[in-house]
Amino acid sequence: MNAPASESTTPVGVFVGLATLDVIHRVSAAPAPNQKITSSTQFVAAGGPAANAAVTFAALGGTAVLVTALGDDPVAALVKADLLTFGVRVIDAAEGSMRSVPVSAVTVIESTGDRSVVSADAVNSDASPPADLEAVVAGADVVLVDGHHPLIACAAAEHAAARVTTSVVDAGRWKPVMSELIPHATDVVCSADFRIPGTSDTATTAAAIVGSGVRTVVTTHGGEPVEWWSEGFSGSVDVEPVAVVDTLGAGDAFHGAYAYYSTQTDAVPERIAGAAHVAALRCSVIGPRAWLGRLSTDTLHYP
């Protein structure tokens, strides 16, 4: 069992990447062209891969720090306030400037929990790393990057590698910066759709990542077993069945929980089991935040 590298017994996670404002509507069916429909429920919350992972890490009992670029736009104030409410400290690399904060329009189908998202992102962001980034990373037990705000992501990954800190890449989809981030990572957590250019499936993608020197590769497949490859070993971990009502942010929850459990155990299957349990819980509760209240009793000491 790993002990946190920080002085406190509470693990510290630094999450680098995208924060958005999500406007979420639950609907009975997706709207047709030129159709207006009324949602049954709506939510407004901070979103984005790194932000959601940080919220999950904090809910599990960790100290979560999000490094992003928001600026002083009124929408940014909403994002920061929501994240603070859920225990995430935000380091804003764009503080003092006016930027356009990405806003995501999200629909969730009531009968299946499937979500559709239209959003701007920060893949091509030119935001520079904050001056204290090296010190922030030095205090971390785990660092996660999602490939958004690439200049900040690369700097964080390099600082983590220099300190031999666990460094997780959220590989939801291929982004050009991935070719720079992956060689610095200890762990790469991939969606089933993620492909290294020139590879054809999850197995060849995993082989390419392992071949680049990454210690552990994990690939999720929704409700199907999670595959993993680590230091010459491989296997899979079953995902518990749940009644799925809302899949928004489930992958982000998996990543945040995986980062948390990486500070608790060296055993890859145990990390995955904990993360899969958290992601399943996320899918079983409607709304972006209500599910967090169940973590303290259902998952804090899991696995």
Q: Contact, 156 vs 139, CB < 8 A?
A: no
The 10s digit of each residue's pLDDT in 205-229 is 999 999 999 999 999 999 999 999 9
Exposure of 199 by Cβ count < 10 A (0-12 exposed, 13-18 middle, 19+ buried)? middle
Q: Which residues pair with 20 in a beta bridge?
A: 47
- Structural element, H or E, at residue 25: strand 20-27
Q: Per-residue DSSP letters for 171-214?
A: ESS--TTHHHHGGG-SEEEE-TT---TT--SHHHHHHHHHHTT-
pLDDT the model gives residue 1: 47
pLDDT the model gives residue 302: 56
Domains and their CATH numbers in the chain: 12-295 (3.40.1190.20)
Helices (H) and strands (E) in the chain, counts: 9, 13
pLDDT the model gives residue 228: 98
- Structural element, H or E, at residue 35: none
Spans of the chain, pLDDT less than 70? 1-8, 296-303
pLDDT the model gives residue 29: 92
pLDDT the model gives residue 99: 84
pTM of the predicted protein model: 0.94
Residue 254, classed as helix, strand or coil, is helix
How far apart CA 292 and CA 65 sit, in angstroms, is 18
pLDDT the model gives residue 300: 54
CA distances from 128 to 106, 121, 133, 134, 156 (A): 29, 16, 10, 13, 11
Q: Which of 42, 63, 61, 64 is nearest to 52 (CA)?
A: 64
End-to-end distance of the chain based on CA atoms, in angstroms? Answer: 12
